[in-house]
Amino acid sequence: MLTEVTATRYVTPLREGGSLPGIVEADDLGTYVMKFTGAGQGRKTLVAEVICGQLGRALGLRVPDLVSIQLDPVIGLGEPDQEVQELLKASGGLNLGMDFLPGALGFDPLAYEVDPIEAGQVIWFDALINNVDRSWRNPNMLVWHGELWLIDHGATMIWHHNWPGAGGWAEKPYDASDHALARFSPEVETAAAALAPLVTEDLITAAAADVPDEWLVDEPGFDSTDELRRAYVEALLPRAATVHERIILGEPSRPRVSQAPGWLTGRHEQKGARA
Ligand SMILES: Nc1ncnc2c1ncn2[C@@H]1O[C@H](COP(=O)(O)OP(=O)(O)OP(=O)(O)O)[C@@H](O)[C@H]1O
Ligand SMILES: [Mg+2]
């Protein structure tokens, strides 16, 4: 079980995230980035955050601590933004909290060097959980006190959106060509040798046990939340031993050219520029 705290103050929305996460303070005096059950992405995003966040930390990767947060929407009454008000209203009860890392910077692959061992471990982990959301466009990593931290595991384990087809995912390749750490000569074989033996049935079972029951109930095709937890274990476990063989590290796709005008970005437009 995750530690459960109660939100005491809604501080501010984090404008960056697609799911409109917010910063809240809680009765344990902690400050958390809160992901809401009422967000459009749905509660499976939170399930993925818990299982993958707990797994990542158990494997020795840096993932901020997770808690579950009781929210009484009344604490957001002072929030002027209509969209935030709606989100808070739709999210009474248990939400997910991630320890807020104050002063952390968004990871920039051109400004921060990652050693090949660590790059390999992160890419291997992302292949295991099928993370499609750690590209150079949207790295979902932070640099805090000079170290790399992994956040945002909401877009992982794609198979949990279609359980009947989940078995087929064990053999599928993982294309890491656009991964934010692909340029650091990632040692995925070394990572596999170190991490795969740690991904045991017990470890995944413990991570799945941390998901609050209310995010698992009423999943079509499952009679109980324990049966659904078991399905996560069965989907992840067979991937660990051989997933490194299916990691593709090819040429990254070309960066999109900014559509913003040159006067805004500081870059001079090539076409039609006056001499
Ligand atoms: N633990 C944290 N400490 C400090 N800042 C954080 C933390 N978690 C998230 N943030 C900040 O909030 C932003 C949004 O967080 P996150 O990526 O988890 O949200 P999201 O809604 O899932 O985003 P998206 O789907 O758009 O990638 C991050 O890019 C980062 O700037
Ligand atoms: Mg994100």
Is residue 40 included in any domain, yes or no? yes
Question: ∠ CA 204-31-131 to the nearest 5 degrees?
Answer: 35
Do 118 and 219 lie in one domain? The reply is yes
Residue identified by tokens 């295991």 is: 128
- Name which residue sits closest to atom 10 of ligand 1, judged by CA: 33
Ligand 1: residue of 11, 12, 15, 19 to mutate (most ligand atoms within 8 A of CB) is 19
- Name which residue sits closest to atom 14 of ligand 1, judged by CA: 17
Do 32 and 136 lie in one domain? The reply is no
Do 95 and 144 lie in one domain? The reply is no
Do 127 and 224 lie in one domain? The reply is yes
pLDDT 10s digits, 15-46 = 777 788 999 999 999 999 999 999 888 899 99
Ligand 1: residue of 36, 134, 140, 156 to mutate (most ligand atoms within 8 A of CB) is 140
Do 31 and 128 lie in one domain? The reply is no
Q: Which ligand 1 atom is at minimum distance from the Cα of 14? A: 12
pLDDT 10s digits, 79-102 = 888 888 999 999 999 999 999 999
Do 185 and 92 lie in one domain? The reply is no
- Name which residue sits closest to atom 18 of ligand 1, judged by CA: 152
Structure tokens at 55: 């797994």
Do 70 and 171 lie in one domain? The reply is no
Report pTM: 0.91
Task: Give 183-214 as a DSSP string.
Answer: GG---HHHHHHHHGGG--HHHHHHHHHTS-GG
Is residue 59 included in any domain, yes or no? yes
Is residue 239 included in any domain, yes or no? yes
Sign of the dihedral defined by the CA atoms of residues 106, 265, 255, 16, in that order = positive
CB 35 within 8 A of CB 21: yes
What per-residue confidence (pLDDT) applies to 268?
47
Do 128 and 81 lie in one domain? The reply is no
Split into its structural domains, the chain has a count of: 2
Is residue 119 included in any domain, yes or no? yes
Structural domain span for residue 239: 106-248
